[in-house]
Chains A and B, each alone.
Chain A
Amino acid sequence: MTATRNRESILVISGLHKRYNEGKSNEVHALRGVDLIVKRGDMMAIMGPSGCGKTTLLNMIGHLDRRSEGKIVIDNIDTATLSDGKMTAFRRDKIGFIFQLFNLFPFLSAVENVETPLLLKGMKAGVAREQAKMLLRELGMGDRLYHLPSELSGGQQQRVAIARALITEPAIILGDEPTGDLHSATSAEIMKLFRRINRINQQTLVLVTHSRWIAEHCDYIVHMSDGKISRLEQGPFKAEEEN
Chain B
Amino acid sequence: MGIKSSFMIAARSLLRRKTKNLSAILAVTLGVTLLVGIQITTDTLENSFMTSLLQRQGEVDFRVSNSTTGGYLTSADAENISALVPNAVGIMPELSTDAPVMLGSQFDDSVEMAGIPTDFPEAFGSFYDWKTGDKLNLNALLASNSSILLSSSQAEKLGLTKEATLPLKLTTEFTNLTATVQTPPTVPLANWTVNANTTSAQYVLNSSSPYLSLTVVPVNFTGIVTLYTINCPRLGLSNYDYINVTAAGSNNTLVVLGFSMDDGSTLTVANLTNIETLNTTQFDLSPYSERTLRGDAFLAIMSANGTQAEIEISEIKFESSTPIITYTPTTERVDLQVVGIFDSKRPGIGSQYRGIVFKLEHLQQWMSLQDPQQKTDIIKAYLVALKTDHFTSEISRDYLQEQVDMFKAVTPETVDPATGNTRKIFRVQSYRLTFFSIAEMVMTLLSTMLTALGLLIMITGVLLITNVQLMNVEDREFQTGVLRAVGENRRGITQSMLIENVFQGILGGIFGLFGGLVFGQAVASYLVSLFGTGQFSVQPVVSQQVVVLSVLIGVALGIITGILPALRASRVNIVEALRGIKVAFEEKSGRNLALFGVLAIVAGCFVLLINGVFDKTCEGIWVAEGWNTLQEWRNILIGAGLLFAGVGIVLSRFISRVKALNFTAIAIWAIPVFLFVVAMGEWIPDITGLAPDILIIGVMEIVIGSVLLVSVNLPPAMKALRSVLVKIKGLKGVGQIAPALISSHKTRSTLTFAIFAVILTLNVTVATLVPTNLSSIIETEQDSRGVDIIVTLNKPVANIANVSYVEELYKLDSHIIDVIGFKTYASRTDYQRYAALNNPYSSAFNPQTDMLPIGYGELRKEQIRGNASDAEWRYNFYLSSFPDGVAQPPADEVTDGELTEMSKQAWEMFFDPSYRMAAYNVSLAKLMSDERDLSDLDLTSFSGYSGRELEGVDVLRYENGTVIKNPIVFTDSFILPMGLQVWIPMNTSEYGLPVYQAFTIAGRLDSQRAGGFPLSSFSLLSGDEFNIMDALGKLYLPEYWANQTSFLAEADGVTSISKAPNQFNQFLIKTSYDMDDPRIQSIAQAIMNFTNTNDEGYRGLVGDNFYVASATVLYSKIEQSLEMIQRVVSFLQIYVTFGLVIGTVGMAVISIRNVSERKREIGMMRAIGFPRTQVMLSVLLELVVLGIIGLAIGVVNGVLISVGFANMQGATLVIPWNDLGVYLGIITVIAIAAGAIPGWFASRIPPAEALRYVG
A91 within 8 A of B: yes
Q: In the complex, how many angstroms separate the beta carbon of B831 from the nearest chain A beta carbon?
A: 87
Query: With contacts A97-B1167, A97-B1168 known, is A108 near B732, CB below 8 A?
Result: no
Contacting pair B580 A89 (CB below 8 A)? no
Contacting pair A65 B741 (CB below 8 A)? no
Chain B residues with Cβ under 8 A from A150's Cβ?
579-582
Separation of A123 and B1166 alpha carbons in the complex (Å): 18
Chain A residues with Cβ under 8 A from B740's Cβ?
105, 107-108, 112
Contacting pair B1168 A117 (CB below 8 A)? yes
A232 within 8 A of B: no
Contacting pair B1172 A103 (CB below 8 A)? no
Contacting pair B1172 A59 (CB below 8 A)? no
B1106 within 8 A of A: no
Chain B residues with Cβ under 8 A from A82's Cβ?
none
B729 within 8 A of A: yes
Separation of A92 and B1164 alpha carbons in the complex (Å): 12
Chain B residues with Cβ under 8 A from A125's Cβ?
723, 726-727, 732
Contacting pair A116 B733 (CB below 8 A)? yes
Contacting pair B1247 A64 (CB below 8 A)? yes
- Interface residue from B580, B729, B1170 paired with A122 (Cβ < 8 Å): B729
B543 within 8 A of A: no
Q: Mark B741-769, 1 if CB is under 8 A from A, else 0.
A: 10010000000000000000000000000
Chain A residues with Cβ under 8 A from B582's Cβ?
150
Interface size on A, residues (CB 8 A): 33
The chain A residue with its CB closest to the CB of B743 is A107
Contacting pair B1168 A92 (CB below 8 A)? yes
- Interface residue from B1161, B1171, B1246 paired with A65 (Cβ < 8 Å): B1246
A164 within 8 A of B: yes
Contacting pair A120 B1167 (CB below 8 A)? no
Chain A residues with Cβ under 8 A from B1160's Cβ?
103
Contacting pair B1167 A62 (CB below 8 A)? yes
Q: In the complex, how many angstroms separate the beta carbon of A11 from the nearest chain B beta carbon?
A: 18
Query: With contacts A62-B1167, A125-B726 known, is A120 near B1247, CB below 8 A?
Result: no
A15 within 8 A of B: no
Separation of A62 and B1247 alpha carbons in the complex (Å): 10
B618 within 8 A of A: no
- Interface residue from A92, A101, A119 paired with B736 (Cβ < 8 Å): A119
Contacting pair A65 B732 (CB below 8 A)? no
Query: With contacts A107-B741, A116-B733 known, is A88 near B1166, CB below 8 A?
Result: yes
Query: With contacts A65-B1248, A65-B1249, A106-B580 known, is A117 near B1169, CB below 8 A?
Result: yes
Separation of A62 and B1164 alpha carbons in the complex (Å): 12
Chain A residues with Cβ under 8 A from B1247's Cβ?
64-65
B1251 within 8 A of A: yes
Q: Mark A108-124, 1 if CB is under 8 A from B, else 0.
A: 10001001110110110
Separation of A85 and B1176 alpha carbons in the complex (Å): 14
Chain A residues with Cβ under 8 A from B25's Cβ?
none
- Interface residue from A59, A65, A120 paired with B1170 (Cβ < 8 Å): A120
Interface of B is mostly: helix
The chain B residue with its CB closest to the CB of A95 is B1169
A93 within 8 A of B: yes
Chain A residues with Cβ under 8 A from B727's Cβ?
125
Give B1157-1205 interface residues, CB cut-off 8 Å to A: 1160-1161, 1163-1164, 1166-1172, 1174
Chain A residues with Cβ under 8 A from B1161's Cβ?
105-106
A78 within 8 A of B: no
Chain B residues with Cβ under 8 A from A101's Cβ?
1251
- Interface residue from A66, A107, A116 paired with B1168 (Cβ < 8 Å): A116
Contacting pair A85 B1172 (CB below 8 A)? yes
Query: With contacts A64-B1166, A88-B1169, A91-B1169 known, is A116 near B736, CB below 8 A?
Result: yes
Chain B residues with Cβ under 8 A from A84's Cβ?
1172
Separation of A103 and B1171 alpha carbons in the complex (Å): 18
Contacting pair A64 B1248 (CB below 8 A)? yes
Q: Mark A51-68, 1 if CB is under 8 A from B, else 0.
A: 000000001001011100
Give B570-599 interface residues, CB cut-off 8 Å to A: 579-582
The chain B residue with its CB closest to the CB of A174 is B1167
Contacting pair A88 B1170 (CB below 8 A)? yes
Query: With contacts A108-B736, A119-B736 known, is A85 near B1171, CB below 8 A?
Result: yes
Separation of A189 and B139 alpha carbons in the complex (Å): 109
Separation of A89 and B1168 alpha carbons in the complex (Å): 9
A130 within 8 A of B: no
Q: In the complex, how many angstroms separate the beta carbon of B575 from the nearest chain A beta carbon?
A: 12
Q: In the complex, how many angstroms separate the beta carbon of A143 from the nearest chain B beta carbon?
A: 18
Q: Mark B423-464, 1 if CB is under 8 A from A, else 0.
A: 000000000000000000000000000000000000000000
A194 within 8 A of B: no
The chain B residue with its CB closest to the CB of A97 is B1167
Separation of A91 and B733 alpha carbons in the complex (Å): 15
Separation of A97 and B1168 alpha carbons in the complex (Å): 7
The chain B residue with its CB closest to the CB of A150 is B580
Separation of A99 and B1248 alpha carbons in the complex (Å): 10
Q: In the complex, how many angstroms separate the beta carbon of A214 from the nearest chain B beta carbon?
A: 22
Separation of A112 and B722 alpha carbons in the complex (Å): 12
Contacting pair B732 A119 (CB below 8 A)? yes
Contacting pair A88 B732 (CB below 8 A)? no
Contacting pair A105 B1251 (CB below 8 A)? no
Separation of A108 and B738 alpha carbons in the complex (Å): 10
Contacting pair A66 B1167 (CB below 8 A)? no
The chain B residue with its CB closest to the CB of A86 is B1171
Chain B residues with Cβ under 8 A from A151's Cβ?
581
Separation of A125 and B1248 alpha carbons in the complex (Å): 28
Q: In the complex, how many angstroms separate the beta carbon of A181 from the nearest chain B beta carbon?
A: 13
Q: In the complex, how many angstroms separate the beta carbon of A171 from the nearest chain B beta carbon?
A: 13
Separation of A106 and B737 alpha carbons in the complex (Å): 11
Chain B residues with Cβ under 8 A from A59's Cβ?
1248
Contacting pair B1169 A92 (CB below 8 A)? yes
Chain A residues with Cβ under 8 A from B1167's Cβ?
62, 64, 91, 97, 99, 103
The chain B residue with its CB closest to the CB of A164 is B1168
Chain B residues with Cβ under 8 A from A88's Cβ?
1166, 1169-1172
Could you give 29 example pairs across A and B, Cβ below 8 Å?
A: A59-B1248, A64-B1167, A64-B1246, A64-B1247, A64-B1251, A65-B1248, A65-B1249, A84-B1172, A88-B1172, A89-B1171, A91-B1168, A92-B1168, A93-B1169, A97-B1168, A99-B1251, A105-B740, A105-B1164, A108-B736, A108-B737, A119-B726, A119-B732, A119-B733, A119-B736, A120-B1168, A120-B1169, A120-B1170, A150-B579, A150-B582, A151-B581
Q: Which 4 pairs of residues, A with B, have the shortest CB-CB distance?
A: A92-B1169, A65-B1248, A107-B744, A64-B1248
CB within 8 Å of A: which residues of B?
579-582, 723, 726-727, 729, 732-733, 735-737, 740-741, 744, 1160-1161, 1163-1164, 1166-1172, 1174, 1246-1249, 1251
